[in-house]
Amino acid sequence: MAAEEGEQQLQAKKGKTKGKHDKPKPWDEDPNIDHWKIEKFEPSWNEGGMLEVSSFSTLFPQYREKYLQEAWPLVKSALKEYGVACELNLVEGSMAVSTTRKTRDPYIIIKARDLIKLLSRSVPAPQAIKILDDEVQCDIIKIGNLVRNKERFVKRRQHLVGPNSSTLKALEIVTGCYILVQGNTVAAMGSFKGLKQVRRIVEDCIQNKMHPLYHIKVLMVKKELERDPALANENWDRFLPKFKKKNVKQKKVKSKEKKPYTPFPPPQPPSKIDLQLESGEYFLSDKRKSEKQWREKQEKQAEKTAENKRKREAAFMPPEELVKKDSAQAGGDQTDVAAIAKSLKKKVKDFGKQKSIENINPQTYIASSGEQPSRKKSKRSKSEGSEKS
């Protein structure tokens, strides 16, 4: 009985504390109030100003010195509107921001700290000044220590940028953030939701978990699904593309064979003097040594000239003759040629006979039959004339 009474008292106490803090407020269910809207700060909210001076400073690389000197008046004028003082120290290579008596917004010093961080990470001054707006946030992602191998790091960082910065531009459009890849860090500016997406994409790319292009495809599908009010309360996993990671076979590193351990050190290689003592050159006079060196030099020169001459003459060498065919094959070819020549001669002879038959003129035979005796007479008369003489 006592235990039951104790439990009832505990429940009563719990009920009391819960009712005390969780009473319904009149503005909780008011449709005219946007609970997610960030209202602009008004100086009337903090007329007294800041009680203590808050300051932040950061170093910048030497190559940013010239640009910061040129852009500092723009930064100074932007911070002056919010009552924040800034200082550029070129000797130490640092930038500092601090609150003043005119500062009213207590959170503006955090925004000013982010501004000098972005300026040191090579973000242009006009873009970095946008961080002073309440709706814009920033995130500096460190990627230098995610990969040990420098070559892999450079290659994966290039995947993030893409050819002609095309991948980076696509990421900026999809996430709605400004992204700058510089050295070992990635600076991003935008809304909290966009910065969360950018950090995930960058880390997955550098750790080789997923290529940025696949992330872009997923985000594009999500944007299309957001427009459809019917799918607002449904699971989108069935619409999102699923990518399988391909395991690329890596080259196997050849392990060196371990030599058997010996406590004794390896034998010392012979010195130059030891080699001269072995060959007997050490005991020669300086004149003999110089003669020997000169002779060796002449021999090397002769070898070199002979080799150069051989190279020059190689251009004038006749090409190699074709390899002769087998004797049996060659004999067969000769018989074929002889047979072809014989048949051609026979055809020419037959063609000549046929042509001579076609060209016979009967008038020549008739004329020659009437003139034959006169020809005989002329021959006789010639013979008689020669006898008389």
User: Quick check: is 214 in a domain?
Assistant: yes
pLDDT of residue 41: 85
Based on the fold, state whether residues 54 and 139 are members of the same structural domain. Answer: no
**Structural domain for 167, as ranges:** 135-243
Write down which residue in 243, 262, 279 finishes a domain. 243
Based on the fold, state whether residues 287 and 275 are members of the same structural domain. Answer: yes
The structure tokens listed for 325 are 């065919």
User: Quick check: is 369 in a domain?
Assistant: no
In the sheet where 185-190 sits, what is the strand order?
137-142, 185-190, 178-182
User: Quick check: is 213 in a domain?
Assistant: yes
User: Quick check: is 332 in a domain?
Assistant: no
Q: Which residue is it, tokens 């290659």?
A: 155
Write down which residue in 117, 134, 151 finishes a domain. 134
Per-residue pLDDT of the chain (389 residues; tens, 9 = 90+): 444 555 555 455 544 455 667 777 777 778 888 877 778 888 888 888 888 999 999 999 999 999 999 999 999 999 999 999 999 999 999 999 999 999 999 999 999 999 999 999 999 999 999 999 988 999 999 999 999 999 999 999 999 999 999 999 999 999 999 999 998 999 999 999 999 999 999 999 999 888 999 999 999 998 888 888 888 788 888 888 887 777 666 777 777 788 888 888 888 999 999 988 888 888 888 888 888 889 999 999 999 999 999 998 888 888 777 765 555 555 555 667 788 888 888 888 887 777 666 666 656 555 444 444 444 444 445 445 554 44
Based on the fold, state whether residues 122 and 105 are members of the same structural domain. Answer: yes
49 conformational bin, left if phi > 0, alpha if psi -120 to 50, beta if neither: left
pLDDT of residue 177: 94
Based on the fold, state whether residues 285 and 300 are members of the same structural domain. Answer: yes
User: Quick check: is 233 in a domain?
Assistant: yes
User: Quick check: is 263 in a domain?
Assistant: no
Based on the fold, state whether residues 50 and 86 are members of the same structural domain. Answer: yes
pLDDT of residue 340: 86
Write down which residue in 134, 160, 175 finishes a domain. 134
How far apart, in Å, are the Cα atoms of 2 and each of 8, 10, 14, 15, 16?
Answer: 10, 13, 19, 20, 21
Helix (H, G, I), strand (E, B) or coil at 21: helix
pLDDT of residue 365: 52
Based on the fold, state whether residues 182 and 237 are members of the same structural domain. Answer: yes
Based on the fold, state whether residues 156 and 237 are members of the same structural domain. Answer: yes
Based on the fold, state whether residues 142 and 221 are members of the same structural domain. Answer: yes
Per-residue DSSP letters for 288-352?
HHHHHHHHHHHHHHHHHHHHHHHHHHHTTSPPPPPPPPPHHHHHHHHHHHHHHHHHHHHHHHHHH
Per the structure, how many domains does the chain have?
A: 3
pLDDT of residue 361: 60
pLDDT of residue 238: 82
Domain of 116, CATH number, reads: 3.30.1370.10
Based on the fold, state whether residues 141 and 130 are members of the same structural domain. Answer: no
Based on the fold, state whether residues 192 and 283 are members of the same structural domain. Answer: no
Based on the fold, state whether residues 238 and 170 are members of the same structural domain. Answer: yes
Based on the fold, state whether residues 139 and 203 are members of the same structural domain. Answer: yes
User: Quick check: is 215 in a domain?
Assistant: yes
- pTM tops 0.75, yes or no: no
pLDDT of residue 369: 46
User: Quick check: is 76 in a domain?
Assistant: yes
